[in-house]
Structure 1
Amino acid sequence: MSQNTYQNPILCADYSDPDIVRVGDDFFMVSSSFNHMPALPVLHSTDLVSWRIINHVFASLDLAGYDTVQPGKGVWAPSLRWHNDRLWVFFSTPDEGIFMCHTQDPWGAWSKPHCVQPAKGWIDPCPFWDEEGSAWLVHAFAHSRSGIKHKLQLFSMKPDGTALQGEGQIIYDGSCDLPTLEGPKVYKRNGLYYIFAPAGGVETGWQTVLRAPEMTGPWEARNVLFQGETAVNGPHQGGWVELKNGECWFVHFQDAHLYGRIVHLQPMSWDEDGWPHIGEPFGGAGAGQPVLRWQKPGGLPAVTPYAPQTSDDFATGRPGLQWQWQANPQPNWLIPATQGLHLRCILLPEFAGQRTLYAAPQLLLQKFPAFTFTARTRATLAAAEPESCGGLIIYGERYAALVIVRRQQCHQLCYVHGWMSDAGVIREQCQALHMLSSATCELQVSVGEGGVSQFAWREDGGAWQQVPRTFAAGKGKWVGAKVGIFAAATADAQDPGECRFEDFVLEVR
């Protein structure tokens, strides 16, 4: 591939519902984080192609229930905007309402989440500040909570973004032409207002653009991006950014099943009638389809390609920005250290009458970074109490882990696998594999095509030994599969101990 071209996806990882903004020479992106903490990853780029995680908007969510695992809840579809010399993020939680945070320094502290509007089933909020000082907010609805999935609602908003004002107005009803209308992003160009909004559903939908002379309407719609003849299904939900040189680009996601919602970059232009064209032409009437390769954005600095962080040497005794817990983190999960990660063995919570990894909030996970990769770690279980454990895990609604378990007078290597049934029942099994000669073992998992994964282990630098059965990774609730580490206790104990991880090495194949 030429140095002057790029290839989609630009992020082969689960950065769901991305939104993007340019601030001078910098580009910033946020995405949904659902129940994972810290929440709302903030990514930075200078060329629109290579991205790095620089921050999270907040570390925990001060709402009832989020100290426990809440699959599929939490932060949905944020919008990112630059206004009044600061970055603003508006997001929803599907059961609690619409929230807002802001900062003058994307690398620094953000304001605490402020509830703009309590509401159940109001999702995907996007603010807009007009030139004359008025402020607006457009949002969609979650069918699972409201029974609505095809309407967009408009509110007047206080200029400081702290509250909605007056009664809401439904500005578009897509019951017949735009089913499952969601993810609105609001812009203004040449005196006209635009809402970029996906329609038709995550896996099989398309990108629509609405246009009106006033925020209150009337709005007309045009479908601008389809799968076409490509393999990029449901190409939609993202953001438009304009460069200093006038070029326009559109970032969106593709649902890649167990790999999550991966991110693509599309060229974008405008026709003489004021409608956007995204991707390459397909099917006439101004519609486009995604590009696989294209010329890089012009007028931006050339950079050595890079990607979001994966490997971690835990040099400060803490996890890097790529890691997230399954719920609000607790202070006792990490034991202070200057090198390596020391995870305390936390008692597994009960779920449907049993203690399973599925419901463990202390799993420390990161996104799959590619379609095929290998991850390994060297772990030492420092625990005197029986049934304390720690290991390497692939997690989703199907999950599997290679685990060092403390038995009475020894350490045993076990393979644990489980799944959530359609009826909401967890079935988890544990298979003893090998009696270890010490409490230290190297653990590895190789993820192949289709998420088919092979766990392996070795002691004292010996040959790798494979777990007899492979594991087919599966997605979680609205998220892709994740890989990571954990420490846990399965029996009540006064001092369950800890599991120490020297490093975490991830290699994309």
Structure 2
Amino acid sequence: MNNFFKSIILSSIIICTTNAQENKAQNPIIYADVPDASMVRVGDTYYMSSTTMHMSPGLPIMKSKDLVNWELINYAYDTLGHNDELDLENGKNMYGRGSWASCLRYHNGKFYVSTFSATSGKTHIFITKNLEKGPWEIIEFKPAYHDHSILFDDDGKIYMVWAAGKLNIAELKEDLSGIKEGTERVLIENASAPAGDNIMLGAEGSQLFKINGKYYLFNITWPRGGMRTVIIHRADNINGPWEGRVGLQDLGVAQGGLIDTPDGRWFSYLFRDNGGVGRIPYIVPVTWEDGWPVLGENGKVPQSLDLPANKSLIPGIVNSDDFNRKKKEKDLPLVWQWNHNPDNSLWSVKERKGYLRLKTGRIDTTFFQAKNTLTQRTIGPESTGSTLLDVSNMKEGDFAGLCLLQKEFGLVGIKLENGTKKIVMMSAPKGEPKEVQSVPLNQNNIYFKAECDFKDKTDKANFFYSLDGKSWTRIGDTINMPYTLPHFMGYRFGLFNYATKNVGGYVDFDYFHISEQISRMN
């Protein structure tokens, strides 16, 4: 065979392989911060809850028809409650706290979404017949049961499993108002044991299932010097004995549970720590051997899946917004979340048609304590967020603009000082804010954009400004975007405005646009 025909055959193989890959789902299924997933399937529709910590509204609910392409449909709550931490008052905050890992269940025609919060000190259960429209019944009780999982058993009993390392179990009262007295006990003394003795993170993130009469408990643990690991326990009786094994140890993909498809296939939903973009979801195929779920392909997380191909995360998980609202439309689409509880008197999309207005109502001395920062997820492998800002109604000391929110944040904004406006770029390496560069501004409209590169965990971003929306100028330093535990969340685009000297000023954002590309401008 001559080289000409060899090259044709090779090209055909490459094209066929590429087309086959394009028609299949690829891991991660969502390249954005959607951690601590809990899933159920009702008919042909999958539902998923996740964690957004300090954000408000919180406990996002998503749905999908194929396990791959998801859209936000609601939040379980607008606010967890009100105290200084939740409301960003008196110098306090709930960064990295708020509500943590949730549990989503469907039983007798109702959805049950539960979570816990060290900030409120409570376990919260939200109940509805319709996840998209509500209404919601809310049950709260103390204490906050860490990483709990709820199981509605066939005999009518309702169990809750929680804790880390040593796992506890108890029955819930019929009305879910708390633990039945006298039912709490140790379920598994050392749930990390299948992964060895030298453990850095005790088994947590419990998710409890009953499948074909057997009980299965999923946990995540982390052997010292190793990677995050899936631990699976099973038992014929809820009271034990329980036997455990390592379920998956690859790429650090862990914490999640089991889900089946209408045609009888099984998958495990898990997530992976992926640097600055956050903790991103993976789907892993599951087969059954001797009553055990076997995760992955030869113990590995596959790149491609026998599921429909991934579509864009826009508009399902994030979306651009021109702030134009028709009658009966919500003031803010679900893709937006406030950084902590907002003051709803200090923002509007109605006072000026086609604009988001952020008003100042108090004096703040730090960016982290500023009220009403409006955020969306960044997405990988690359993403750009851009906006046009009218600053003509700022007051002395005001600071407004576009940010990338995490402990080591970066931002570009307009600061009004001594009666003059200047464009300012700030960064916070090691969490220490510093002004990197400033440029005088002699007009009232200014364009900003932030470009994020998460490819191969590059985790870097650049900020730009434009006076006309056509010619862009980079400002300040390239920032590093490490994932830090004090915030426990991937970087977020944010629109902000706060006062440092006088209240009553405001700025108008004409739009926020997000794309899956960056310009690679230097």
What TM-score do the two structures reach when normalised by structure 1? 0.87
Query: Could you say what secondary structure the match of 1:325 adopts?
Result: strand
Map 1:459-498 to 2 at 5 A. 459-476=467-484, 477-493=487-503, 495=504, 497-498=505-506
**8 Å CA contact retained: 1:319, 1:341:** no
Would you say 1:132 and 2:146 are equivalent positions? no
**8 Å CA contact retained: 2:49, 2:104:** yes
Map 1:90-109 to 2 at 5 A. 90-94=114-118, 96-109=121-134
How far off its partner does 1:469 sit? Answer: 1.8
Structure 2 residues without counterparts, runs of 5 or longer? 1-17, 518-522
Which of 473, 478, 500 is the matching residue for 2:508? 500
Would you say 1:248 and 2:266 are equivalent positions? yes
How far off its partner does 1:127 sit? Answer: 1.0
Identity of aligned residues (%): 25
How far off its partner does 1:408 sit? Answer: 4.2
- TM-aligned CA distance change 1:112 to 1:485, over 3 Å: farther
2:86 aligns with 66
- TM-aligned CA distance change 1:437 to 1:484, over 3 Å: same
**8 Å CA contact retained: 1:383, 1:406:** no
How far off its partner does 1:358 sit? Answer: 2.1
2:463 aligns with 455
1:276 aligns with 293
Which of 303, 306, 321 is the matching residue for 1:312? 321
- How far apart are the structure 2 equivalents of 1:177 and 1:113? 37
**8 Å CA contact retained: 1:171, 1:218:** no
- How far apart are the structure 2 equivalents of 1:463 and 1:409? 27
1:444 aligns with 449
Query: Could you say what secondary structure the match of 1:378 adopts?
Result: strand
**8 Å CA contact retained: 2:437, 2:475:** no
**8 Å CA contact retained: 1:398, 1:420:** yes
- TM-aligned CA distance change 1:416 to 1:109, over 3 Å: same
**8 Å CA contact retained: 1:31, 1:78:** yes
Which of 166, 169, 185 is the matching residue for 2:181? 166
**8 Å CA contact retained: 2:397, 2:502:** no
Would you say 1:369 and 2:404 are equivalent positions? no
- How far apart are the structure 1 equivalents of 2:426 and 2:390? 18
Would you say 1:217 and 2:232 are equivalent positions? no
How far off its partner does 1:462 sit? Answer: 4.5
- The two structures, once aligned, show a CA RMSD in angstroms of 2.2
1:8 aligns with 27
- How far apart are the structure 2 equivalents of 1:150 and 1:239? 18
- How far apart are the structure 2 equivalents of 1:90 and 1:177? 28
Which of 161, 166, 182 is the matching residue for 2:204? 182
Would you say 1:295 and 2:306 are equivalent positions? yes
How far off its partner does 1:222 sit? Answer: 1.4
- TM-aligned CA distance change 1:384 to 1:504, over 3 Å: closer
- How far apart are the structure 1 equivalents of 2:481 and 2:216? 40
Which of 328, 345, 360 is the matching residue for 1:332? 345
Q: Deviations over 1:403-442 (max 9, x none)?
A: 1122344322111223555xxxxx3223552222211100
Q: Deviations over 1:226-282 (max 9, x none)?
A: 11xxxx22x1111211112111111110011222110001111111x100011111x
Q: Deviations over 1:467-501 (max 9, x none)?
A: 142111233422111111111111133x2x21111
Query: Could you say what secondary structure the match of 1:164 adopts?
Result: coil
Read off the aligned partner of 2:44 and give its amino acid letter.
D
- How far apart are the structure 1 equivalents of 2:428 and 2:409? 5
Read off the aligned partner of 1:437 and give its amino acid letter.
N
Query: Could you say what secondary structure the match of 1:434 adopts?
Result: strand
Q: Deviations over 1:266-325 (max 9, x none)?
A: 111111x100011111xxxxxx2211112117xxxx896654123222222833212211
- TM-aligned CA distance change 1:361 to 1:345, over 3 Å: closer
How many equivalent residue pairs? 471
- How far apart are the structure 2 equivalents of 1:468 and 1:136? 54
Read off the aligned partner of 1:290 and give its amino acid letter.
V
**8 Å CA contact retained: 2:436, 2:476:** no
How far off its partner does 1:94 sit? Answer: 2.7
- How far apart are the structure 2 equivalents of 1:223 and 1:361? 45
- TM-aligned CA distance change 1:348 to 1:214, over 3 Å: farther
Read off the aligned partner of 2:305 and give its amino acid letter.
W
1:207 aligns with 230
**8 Å CA contact retained: 1:345, 1:389:** no
Higher helix share: 2
Q: Deviations over 1:115-166 (max 9, x none)?
A: 24x125x3111111111211111112xxxxxxxx311110011233222102
- How far apart are the structure 1 equivalents of 2:285 and 2:167? 26
Map 1:387-466 to 2 at 5 A. 387-419=397-429, 421=431, 427-431=432-436, 433-449=438-454, 450-466=458-474
